Amino acid sequence: MKRRSQRSLLPLFLLLWLVAGTPVLAQETRFESEIKAYETQSVDDPPVPGSTFFVGSSTWRLWGQALEEDFTRFSPVNRGFGGATIPDVLRVMDRIILPHRPARIVFSCGGNDLAAGDALETVVTHFKTFLARVWKENPLTEVYFISNWHSPARKKFWKQADRLNQQVKALAGKIDGLYYIDVVPLTDGKDRTPLFLADGLHLSREGQQRWIPVITAALDERDKARTKPNRAGLYAQRVAAGIFSAPDATPPTAQKINIVFIGNSITAGAGLQDRQTEAPPVSATAYLQQQAGIDAVAFSNQGVSGHTTVDFLPATNKSFPKVAQAANGFKDDPTARLVFSIVLGTNDSAIQGPNGAPVSPEAYRGNLKTIADRLLTDYPGCKLVIHRPIWYSPTTYNRSKYLQEGLDRLQTYFPQIDGLVADYASTHPGQVRVGDTQGFNYFKTHYRTDFQHENGQQGVFFLHPNKKGSATLGVFWGEAIRKALQP
């Protein structure tokens, strides 16, 4: 008994340490190699904001890549690491979970805590800390708690696991956003042996297959029942349940934004069956309302196929007047923040064809500055979000010629965007922000599934997102706009 009391002190101390905000990002963990691998993976293949994260211990880690196929409809991201306890998850969630803004978290953890001797009350407290940190980052994230099941190797902990399940289930009954999934019956009974690996602890493939329809049904049921949340009500519930303390419970103020999207054919939705419903600005605004909690979003899509930064210069009198017309339509709304979402550079980078191409990195920056200066002058208080253009294939050659030379030039624009935004930090603090920086690597990895396959003068090329890719790109833009709106 004395040993358990001593063990309980350390997690409680850790809890207070984490809540107090002590930095933990640089701390080495016993899972450091796995965590760093996830961080590297997130750079090369960035998770799409609004995905479903499977978080916890070896249950998910051993599921491996099959998890992505088993739950493919929910955009799954596996973030399990073997042997993890809830405090282990708390130590790394700022590195591998929260930055990616998941819409759902399917949580399987706590069994290792009990097996290590942690008191039930300590495990519940740690889980509440996990919820608090998730919901402070995004109050709309849904957490699905997978019950601790009866593995043969841990029979002596079954009663404690059942009590943990009961407490979490009761908590889920009090607050929206937390949902309990009971998997205990799925691996109980006389036929249980084939459902586990030889260690009697981890699920076999047959055991996993019993879980799949139950988890899928829980996610589907919530998708069908989901309505626009009352954020004030969510905070009140979480205070009453002990997740938040009263000072943390001030609901965010209502937000309303109007967005003018400036871009080329990708912004316009070229090649899509219905641009009005499938172009990236549509999913960007939907994300802002559904996942970022913006109360109202209106937008105007000013993407023009083939256009460069040269075409949007005010002096050319080509596309800028339409941008101004769209902005003027929003200008007199004192209740909304005016945002310009700018994605230009693909056509600038071409070897030949588009107006002004090839545009040098220095000229690209100068053109963006000219556009930005005019917008900041004409629309005081507006917000400018300048996204990086996305990847295209080195075989891209339609009426315009891009190829590898163009793709290389495109990437020289990235530091120009960063530098321009840095310059505005002193003259227009907080008004000009770097937008999406992840889309390039995402589409470089997923171009076969997320781009239209187009025939050109050097064979099949990939330039324009298809319906799936357009929706994904819009989500990346939406998340970048959400960040830009923060103080």
DSSP 229-273: --HHHHHHHHHHTTSS-GGGG-PPPP-EEEEEEEESHHHHTTT-S
Residue 298 burial (10 A CB sphere; 0-12, 13-18, 19+): middle
Confidence at residue 159, expressed as pLDDT on a 0 to 100 scale = 97
Asked if 217 and 181 touch (Cβ cutoff 8 Å), the reply is no
Confidence at residue 277, expressed as pLDDT on a 0 to 100 scale = 97
Cis peptide before 358 (omega within 30 of 0): yes
Whole-number mean pLDDT of the chain? 92
CA dihedral 42, 278, 412, 398 (to 10 degrees): 130
Rounded average pLDDT over 87-99: 97
- pLDDT (tens digit, 9 = 90+) per residue, 187-234? 998 788 999 999 999 999 999 999 999 999 999 999 999 888 888 899
DSSP letters along 39-96, please? HHHHHHSPPPTT-EEEEESHHHHTTTTHHHHHTGGG-EEEEE-TT--HHHHHHHHHHH
Confidence at residue 245, expressed as pLDDT on a 0 to 100 scale = 82
State the Rg of the chain over Cα.
25
Domains in the chain, CATH or no CATH each: 2-248 (3.40.50.1110), 256-485 (3.40.50.1110)
Q: How far apart are the first and last CA of the chain?
A: 49
Enclosing H/E stretch for 178: strand 178-181
Confidence at residue 252, expressed as pLDDT on a 0 to 100 scale = 62
In single-letter form, the type of residue at position 291 comes to Q
- Pick the range with the lowest mean pLDDT from 12-16, 289-293, 317-321: 12-16
Nearest of 317, 420, 401 to residue 362 by alpha carbon: 420
Confidence at residue 250, expressed as pLDDT on a 0 to 100 scale = 59
Asked if 337 and 255 touch (Cβ cutoff 8 Å), the reply is yes
- pLDDT (tens digit, 9 = 90+) per residue, 425-467? 999 999 999 999 999 999 999 999 999 999 999 999 999 999 9
In single-letter form, the type of residue at position 118 comes to D
Enclosing H/E stretch for 397: none
Statement: residue 487 has pLDDT above 60:
yes
Nearest of 245, 229, 239, 129 to residue 177 by alpha carbon: 229
Q: How many residues does the chain have?
A: 487
**Which stretches does DSSP call E strand in 337-405?**
337-343, 383-386
Asked if 107 and 145 touch (Cβ cutoff 8 Å), the reply is yes
Residue 176's φ and ψ, nearest 5 degrees, are -80, 145
Statement: residue 343 has pLDDT above 80:
yes
Confidence at residue 347, expressed as pLDDT on a 0 to 100 scale = 98
- pLDDT (tens digit, 9 = 90+) per residue, 41-92? 999 999 999 999 999 999 999 999 999 999 999 999 999 998 999 999 999 9
Asked if 301 and 267 touch (Cβ cutoff 8 Å), the reply is yes
The pTM of this model reads 0.91
* Dist. CA 142–CA 148, nearest whole Å: 19
Q: Which residues of 29-39 are buried (b: 16+ CB within 10 A; e: fewer)?
A: bebeebbeebe
* Dist. CA 366–CA 380, nearest whole Å: 21
Cβ contacts of residue 451 below 8 Å, gap of 6+? 393, 443, 462, 463, 464, 465, 466, 469
Confidence at residue 30, expressed as pLDDT on a 0 to 100 scale = 78
Asked if 336 and 296 touch (Cβ cutoff 8 Å), the reply is yes
Statement: residue 161 has pLDDT above 90:
yes
Asked if 357 and 401 touch (Cβ cutoff 8 Å), the reply is no
Residue 242 burial (10 A CB sphere; 0-12, 13-18, 19+): middle
DSSP bridge partners of 352: 401
User: Which SS3 state, helix, strand or coil, does residue 227 take?
Assistant: coil
Statement: residue 253 has pLDDT above 90:
no
- pLDDT (tens digit, 9 = 90+) per residue, 1-28? 333 333 334 444 344 434 434 334 334 5
Percent of the chain whose predicted confidence (pLDDT) is above 70: 93
* Dist. CA 343–CA 18, nearest whole Å: 38
Enclosing H/E stretch for 368: helix 361-378
* Dist. CA 197–CA 235, nearest whole Å: 42
Q: Give the Å distances, CA to CA, from 287 to 6, 271, 300.
A: 46, 22, 16
* Dist. CA 280–CA 262, nearest whole Å: 12
DSSP bridge partners of 77: 53
CA dihedral 70, 123, 20, 80 (to 10 degrees): -20
